[in-house]
Amino acid sequence: MKNKAEVYFALKGEDFDPDSFTVESGLKPTKSWQKGEKGRYVEHYRFGYWQIGEEAVEGETVLVDEIADKLIKRIEEKKEVIREFIDRHSLYAALVVVLHISMNEQTSTPALGFNTSTIQFLNFVKAEIDVDIYRN
């Protein structure tokens, strides 16, 4: 089995309307929901949620920094709007990395790193980095 990585930027909060963020930012989410909507794994979501991400990358070599850089380049011009929404609605913001690691000893493990522009963007909008790692 190969390695697989997904990288996305997410916003969530109790007083957050993801549709209004979509309109104001002009960014189209890859996933979003309203507080109170019926959930996939829960009866109702307790917070509003908005996510934008890149297609998952699967292969022998997975470079997280390249995936993250591609995503940040897509949203960087909206950093002022993103930060203002985060401040106004007390949102939790994160760059989320989901790694599925091959257990095959012949397969290289994914490279996990971030370039300066990604770190500067995350610092500006006051976002965290969240890394979830699973065994394939």
Provide the number of structural domains found in the chain.
1
* Separation of alpha carbons 47 and 100, rounded Å: 27
What's residue 102's pLDDT? Answer: 86
The DSSP output letter for 110 is P
- The pLDDT tens digits of the residues spanning 68-92 come to 999 999 999 999 999 999 999 999 9
What pTM was computed for the model?
Answer: 0.93
Domain coverage including residue 10: 3-135
What's residue 103's pLDDT? Answer: 87
Token digits of residue 7: 């990288």
What's residue 14's pLDDT? Answer: 94
The DSSP output letter for 121 is H
